[in-house]
Amino acid sequence: MHIEIDKDVCIGAGQCALAAPNVFTQDDDGYSTLLPGREDGAGDPMVREAARACPVGAIKLS
């Protein structure tokens, strides 16, 4: 699975980091980013929930 975060859409709500803390974190500016080595979701079952939890739909999975 490929994870893409649209940095132009992200508002830094942090819902992804709460839903899937082993995959998502927030950068120094408070916006969502992937943890190193987790670009494919690393099989974490909560990745899809994190994408659904994003209030602005900034996370796309393919």
Mean pLDDT of the 9-35 span = 95
Distance separating alpha carbons of residues 47 and 3, to the nearest angstrom: 9
Q: Is the pLDDT of residue 43 over 70?
A: yes
In the chain, the largest separation of any two C-alpha atoms, in whole Å, equals 27
Q: Is the pLDDT of residue 36 over 80?
A: yes
The pLDDT-based confidence of 42 (bands split at 50, 70, 90) is low
User: Which of 3.40.50.720, 3.40.630.30, 3.40.605.10, 3.30.70.20 is the CATH number of 3-61?
Assistant: 3.30.70.20
Residues 23 and 35 sit within 8 Å (Cβ to Cβ): yes
Mean pLDDT of the 33-50 span = 85
The pLDDT-based confidence of 27 (bands split at 50, 70, 90) is very high
- Does the pTM surpass 0.85? The reply is yes
